Structure 1
Amino acid sequence: MKIQDVRLYLIDDQVGGKSDDWRTEATVANPMSEFEAYGEQRSSWMGPGNDPFAIEITADDGTTGIAVNSAGGPPACEVINGHFRQFIEGSDAFDRRKIWEQMYRSQLPYGQRGVSMIALSAVDLALWDLAGNLTGQPVYNLLGGKVKSEVPCYLTAHESILDRVSDEQFFGLKLAAPYGPADGYAEGLARTESMVASARDAIGDERDLMLDCYMAWDKEFTVRAADRLRGYDIKWFEDALHPECVDQYADIRERVGPIQLAAGNMEFGHKAFHQLLHNGAADILQPDLRWTGGLTEVQRIAEMAKPYGVPVVPHAPSIYSYHYAIANPNAPYAEFLGVFEGDRLTAPDTPVVGEPEPVDGYVELDDAPGFGVDLDRDRLLPYSV
């Protein structure tokens, strides 16, 4: 079965949308926090490479495979349209590894990270969806079948909605950290401890508590925060340092224990994750299937991590994360990021129809072929150069 066509779409943000989205309305510490004009909200400095897009791949018989990416936008669409298309159209629909290698090797002179890998990831996910639709099998069966009947989830939220999420039935709560070195070490640490104390009081002692630092901390702040927060039973600090700070992560890993270090949100490709594993720099790997190279590459990362006893927990909630987690024994749980639509906690707005949400903290997957979701066609804007 040959691939006939590749179509690309941008997302109309004037259609749909959910209220009370703390990701755009609340302060979250970030790599730009030290710059006063850009420190409070991530949307103030993010560019078109952070915009979502969708891809649809069609086989000769009219069967389609789709994927939606949370980032990449027009730059990723142009990589696919102007470069990767030649490796996709006319190829066998099941030659995912060959197509992956051709895309990866061809972008080595200008890519290897960021937009080009985000583009590659979207193609790879759409090819997995296409294979499932052609065979009538859910993607988790193509991965070897379920190793668990449902996927336990932790909830990612913000202190601004702590009172609204504290009773939600997830096994753990991860808070986006609003404070860091940019606030001054003394103030940043004090405000972080106050937030953590409130969170622990709100959720009790039986549930896990984690912090997403979003590359806003440094070595000193991370070590001092671990010291300050030892009495609150923190499970992990996520992405405390900038990407590729392998030596720094390895240096502080034992010093912050028993708090674990989770890393990999902004890493691309298996080589970066091999460095984290080889240097003992992370307790938990968190590749994003939509960015780091798709499901094909995250499978490699998972197999690489297994001998080290390091779990590979996918970054961000998505149908791709759920299929991966339900089929992999070293992915014990997945993430669910919550925003509010009125009084209902729900997933962030995406142009996807049919994505399941957790019930009492667990996601169940049915046996629909592919990833079991479709595109919200009313949200799509055909991409043009």
Structure 2
Amino acid sequence: MVPIPRTVIHAVRAGRLEPQLPGLPDGLPPQIADAAVAPAGPAWAEHRERFALELVGDGVSGWHAPISAAVWQIISDDHAAGLIGHDAAQHRRLPYRKVTGRHRAGAHARAAASAVELACWDLASAATGRSVPDLLGGAVRPLVPAYASALGLDPTHPGAPAATAWMTGAGFWGQKWPLTKELISGGPTAVAAALVPLREAAGDGRFMVDGLGRCRLDDAIRLLPVLADLKVVFAEELLPPGSSSWARLQSMAVSVPLAAGEHAVDTHEQARLLLGRGELDVWQPDPGWSGGLAQAIRTTDLAADLGLPTFPHGAHLPAAVALAAANCRDRVPAVEYHLTVEPLRQQIYATSQTASDGQLTVRTDPGLAGPLALAYRQAFAEVIA
């Protein structure tokens, strides 16, 4: 590949963004708003102090946002110097550039590396005038199905069945509900009491649950028969991703498809889950946490070779959609769309990526997520060299 001068990085900068707004986003369907719980919002430090990463090329920039103060500090300390002179279009060379510091693993370190990688794709896309899916080899579909994440809703709320019926009627590929601490503590009886009405309200729609890594092995074993009766498409993170008990859970006589991946941020964790003793049935990488798009593509290919479908985690929706766009529906059936949090995440962008009839449109314009909203570009006046 002949280098394109505009994709060579000349400077690394960050601009301070306004904090995420508190409360629920405007415009939620009443059925969703009725059963929703207030998002963490500014109560989380990463939502109070946020930055946009900028990689400056020749007359063009690549962006990734938002990132937390801790992630920006790692980028500034360990990555910035080694990025100067790097050609963002040469994604396979990115892991071999100079990186300082001793901390290369763990959530913050991997989020920093992921932010740099995604900003490189954005810069290469803007500089070449080609969409990110095109740079990944070409989009194989213009629309990507989304499944509705109801993790911001209370499954025990009286209005939860109405929310469930709305999701099915809205055309989502499926819907996913949380196993809250209270439900797990209450055991199978409490879980069944809360989720059976939701499963019935979903009708023929696909139904999933997310344990959020909160179950102990004995909790998860007791819940498996209930989840099997609910005919869940998959049960996500019943155990923490680093648990050594996944194989034990998979060996139980009750068959429930098991999913994980979003919190397997380091490559050795990803390899262990995918190449272990058949622990998983569904793979769920997050390109913004697990090393970027190139690594997500590698693990998606490996999952496909092992017969596992990939459902990208939705914390970085533009990257998840780009990943899905470059894969057929058998490999990536759907991506996660968080009903109450995603609109808050997208307030920083000029245009929102929302689900219509349960599907997300693949970007054909340059840029991974599109430009920042005018209000946030104005707030970008504070630039950190």
Cα distance in 1, alignment partners of residues 280 and 16 from structure 2: 35
Q: Matched residues in 1 for 2:253 and 2:351: separation?
A: 41
Contact 2:22–2:41 (8 Å) recurs in 1? no
Q: Supply the distance in 2 between the matched residues of 1:310 and 1:229 (Cα, whole angstroms).
A: 20
Distance 1:294 1:370 in 2: 15
Alignment correspondent of 1:126 = 119
Instruction: Pick the aligned partner of 1:263 from 260, 264, 285.
Output: 260
Q: Which residue of 2 aligns with 1:37?
A: none
* CA deviations over 1:330-353 (Å, ceiling 9, x no partner): 21211111029xxxxx73333122
Decide whether the 8 Å contact of 2:110 with 2:291 is kept in 1.
yes
Once the 2 structures are TM-superposed, how far is the Cα of residue 181 of structure 1 from its aligned partner?
Answer: 7.6
Q: How does 1:183-332 map to 2 (within 5 A)?
A: 183=185, 187-204=186-203, 206-245=204-243, 247-255=244-252, 257-279=254-276, 280-316=278-314, 318-329=317-328, 330-332=331-333
User: Using the alignment, how far apart are the partners of 2:248 and 2:233 within structure 1?
Assistant: 19
Shift in CA distance, 196/334, structure 1 to aligned 2, threshold 3 Å: same
Match in the other structure for 1:178: 180
- Structure 1: distance between partners of 2:17 and 2:264: 25
Partner SS state of residue 310, structure 1: coil
Partners of 2:201 and 2:334 in 1: how far apart? 22
How much has 1:269 moved relative to structure 2?
A: 3.1
Name the Cα RMSD after superposition.
2.9
| Shift in Å, 1:377 | 4.5
For residues 305-361 of structure 1, the C-alpha deviation after alignment (integer angstroms, 9 at most, x for no partner) is 222111222111511111110112321211111029xxxxx7333312223211111
Instruction: For 2:48 and 2:302, locate their aligned partners in 1 and report how far apart those are by CA, in whole Å.
Output: 29
For the 8 Å contact 1:65–1:128, the answer to whether it is kept is yes
Instruction: Confirm or deny that 1:110 pairs with 2:103.
Output: yes
> What is the deviation of 1:182?
6.4
Return the offset for 1:124: 0.4
Deviation at 1:237, TM superposition (A): 1.2
One-letter amino acid of the counterpart of residue 222, structure 2 = R
Q: CA deviation at 1:211?
A: 0.7
Aligned equivalent of 2:345: 349
> Residue 88 of structure 2: which of 68, 90, 93 is its match?
93
Distance 1:50 1:274, change over 3 A: farther
CA distance in 2, matches of 1:265, 1:52: 21
Shift of the 216–52 alpha-carbon distance from structure 1 to 2, 3 Å rule, reads: farther
1:270–1:300: 8 Å Cα contact kept in structure 2? no
1:7 and 2:13 correspond: yes
Tell me, in whole angstroms, the C-alpha distance in 2 between the residues paired with 1:50 and 1:227: 41
For the residue of structure 2 that corresponds to 1:122, the secondary structure is helix
CA contact (8 A) 1:179 1:192 kept: no
Instruction: Write the letter of the residue equivalent to 2:84.
Output: E
- Structure 1 residue 266 displacement after superposition: 0.9
Taking structure 2 as the reference length, the TM-score comes to 0.83
Unaligned runs of 5+ in 1: 28-40, 341-345
Greater displacement, 351-360 / 289-298: 351-360
SS in 1 for 2:252: helix
Partner SS, residue 145 of structure 2: strand
Q: 1:42 & 1:94 partners in 2: Cα distance?
A: 37
Please tell me whether residue 150 in structure 1 is matched to residue 143 in structure 2: yes
- Residues 49 and 115 of structure 1 are in contact (CA less than 8 Å); yes or no, is this contact kept in structure 2? no
Tell me if the contact between 1:153 and 1:170 (Cα under 8 Å) persists in the aligned partners. yes
Percent of aligned pairs sharing the same letter: 24
- TM-score of the pair, normalised by structure 1: 0.83
SS of the residue corresponding to residue 266 of structure 1 reads: coil
Specify the alignment match of 1:36 in structure 2. none
Q: 1:223 to 1:243 in 2, by over 3 A?
A: same
Question: Counterpart amino acid of 2:138?
Answer: G
- Check conservation: 1:336, 1:347, Cα contact below 8 A: no
Cα pair distance change 1:14/1:127, threshold 3 Å:
closer
Mapped partners of 1:377, 1:14: distance in 2 = 15
Residues 51, 101 of structure 1: CA spacing in aligned structure 2 closer, same or farther, 3 A cutoff? farther
Paired residue secondary structure (1:336): strand
Cα 1:44/1:95, change in 2 over 3 Å: closer
Q: Give the residue type in structure 1 aligned to 2:264.
A: E
Distance 1:358 1:257, change over 3 A: farther
